[in-house]
Structures are given as structure tokens and as C-alpha cells.
Amino acid sequence: MINEKIISLKKMANKIRMDTFNSVIAASSGHLGGSLSIIEILTVLYFDVMDLNEMKNEKERDKLVLSKGHGVPALYATLANKGIIDKELLNTLRDINSPLQGHPDCRKTKGLDVSSGSLGQGLSTGLGIALAQKLSKLHYRTFVILGDGEINEGQVWEAAMFAAHYKVCNLIAILDVNKLQLDGATNKVISLGDISRKWKAFGWNTIAVDGHSIEDLCYKFNTIPNNGPTIIIADTIKGKGISFMENNVEYHGKIPNDHEVLIARKEIEEEGNMWSI
Ligand SMILES: Cc1ncc(C[n+]2csc(CCOP(=O)(O)OP(=O)(O)O)c2C)c(N)n1
Ligand SMILES: [Mg+2]
């Protein structure tokens, strides 16, 4: 049986998906594919998992590093629905004077913990934050969202070794395995192989999840062990929720035409109608 919490999270994910889409269309520029694959992950993190301590202060709350910074339209829409940033701002995405830049700038946008966009660096940054939380004897956690193409970057693996060695149990990575990167299939560019075994070999706890199932995400985020760092390996679909964008590498950064925009909005609306009864 689906309980009320799950239904309200599904409704929220649908709202965030629509807001993400509309903001990129308003900007006529941005990365839809990689934003749409992390909508449910962000929804569950911000509306069920993370302790934000009502954003009362910067130190005493959980943190999030969007290492795959190009997916930030999804994070802006999440922060707006959470009431952390003004919803009106979503229409200003990528404007030169807007706090909502095409890649996250934590000096400009409330609620962003780290600037990102240059791939490969976020796990190291998140590791530093998690270590600081531990040293300050704070019980808070740091979540880092990585792309499957992004982990081609060597720096990721340096951070992975360090985090395991120091048993940084408050560091939780989420790997968005949408099987595509900028210019092709991840496994064609550099094969990930058995990615779960690789992280295990580096000393991490690994948890597999259906990255679009609110139920599975809620359940798995509750089973994170505290004996070392953990990576949640999320099986996702690039462009999720819009039929012609799903698994289509073209929509990494391409903007749909007017006709496609109508189709996309209709599909997201129809999905939302399933949860509004
Ligand atoms: C260091 C670096 N190299 C290249 C880029 C350009 N770039 C932006 S997104 C992207 C693909 C990333 O693929 P993946 O991590 O799978 O993210 P997805 O879009 O699938 O979410 C690339 C190569 C970048 N932002 N940073
Ligand atoms: Mg990818």
C-alpha cells in the first residue's frame, strides 16, 4: 500500500520536474537531460532525508554538493519548492544578473553549499566538509551527487580512497547512473564495468537503488550504515519524464522546439494527474 508520505513526495517530484523544465525553457538554455535524472533523488533528499535544521544556520545542518553542477536547474527548483529561494527567481535562470547561474555559485544563491560545474571535484569538497563536521563533533552529514560520466575524472578516486581510509561515515555519495554523458554512452566513452564492486574495493559501502522510485529511495536512504562512507548507486534515465528526451543523448544540452515543449508539458502534467486524486 502506498502511504500518504510517498504520495506527497511523488507530487512534489512532479512539481519539481515541471518547474525545472519551465526554468530551462524560459532561459532557452541549460541541461535538461541530467537535471531530469536527479529529480526524485533531490526530492527525497530535501523533503525526507536531509536535516536542514530549518536553514537556521550554515553549520548545523546537512550539506549537499551537486558535483555534476550542470544539473543545477533541478536543484534550484527543489530549493524553490522547499521555500529556501524565491520561486520567481526560477524564471531568471542564466540571466547575467540572476543569482541562478547555469552552474551553481554558492556566493550568489542561498541554500547552495558549494560552487561546482568543473566535473570531478565535488567528492573531494564534500569530503572536506564531512571531515569538518566530524572534527566539530557535529552529527550532520554531507551528500554528494556525482554523474556516471563524471567519475571518469581521477580526482574522484583519490577522494574515495581517502574517505574509506578515514572511515568518513557521514559522507554519502549518490551516483546518478543514467548511462549517458555529454557525447555518448558512458560505457562507450570509458566503461564503468562492475561499478559497485569498484567502490566496494575502494572500501565503501554500496547500496543499489531505483533512482526514480520514491519508495525505494526513501527505504534505501534509511539503511545507510555508519561504519564508513557510503555510495548509493542510482539506476536512472537521462531525460526522465519526457518521452522523446529519455535515453536520448541529444538532450544533454539541447532545447526542445515549441511543439516539443507542448508535448513535454502535457506528459509531465499527465504524470502529475496520477497523484492528484
Ligand atoms: C572537468 C570538466 N570536463 C568537461 C566538462 C563538460 N561537461 C559538462 S557535462 C558533461 C558530461 C557529464 O556526464 P555525466 O557525469 O554522466 O552527467 P549527466 O549529464 O549524464 O548527468 C561534460 C563532459 C565539465 N563540465 N567539466
Ligand atoms: Mg550520465
Q: Which domains does the chain have, with CATH numbers?
A: 4-273 (3.40.50.970)
Q: Is the CB of 68 under 6 A from ligand 1?
A: yes
Share of the chain above pLDDT 90, in %: 96
Report CA torsion sign: 92, 96, 101, 102: positive
Query: Among all ligands shown, which has an atom nearest to the Cα of 155?
Result: 1
The Å distance, Cα 179 to ligand 2 centre, comes to: 5
Nearest to 147 by CA among 233, 39, 254: 233
Convert the pLDDT of each residue in 179-205 to its tens digit.
Answer: 999 999 999 999 999 999 999 999 999
Torsion, CA 16, CA 19, CA 23, CA 29, rounded to 10: 50
Question: In this structure, are residues 48 and 9 in contact, taking their beta carbons and an 8 Å threshold?
Answer: yes
3-state SS, residue 266: helix
Higher pLDDT, 276 or 16: 16
Summarize pLDDT for 134-159 with one digit per residue, the tens: 999 999 999 999 999 999 999 999 99
| pTM higher than the cut 0.95 | yes
Pocket test for ligand 1, best of 31, 101, 155, 181 (most atoms within 8 A of CB): 181
Residue 240, ligand 1, Cβ within 6 A: no
- According to DSSP, residue 45 is labeled I
Q: Tell me which residue has its CA closest to atom 23 in ligand 1.
A: 182
Q: Indicate the pLDDT class of residue 277, thresholds 50, 70 and 90.
A: low
Q: Which grid coordinates are listed for 194? A: 562492475
Mutate to test the pocket of ligand 1, among 150, 236, 245, 246 (most ligand atoms within 8 A of CB): 150
pLDDT: which is higher, 102 or 53: 102
Q: What is the pLDDT of residues 87-105, one digit of tens each?
A: 999 999 999 999 999 999 9
Q: Tell me, using a 6 A CB cutoff, whether residue 117 lines ligand 1.
A: yes
CB of 63 within 6 A of ligand 1: the answer is: no
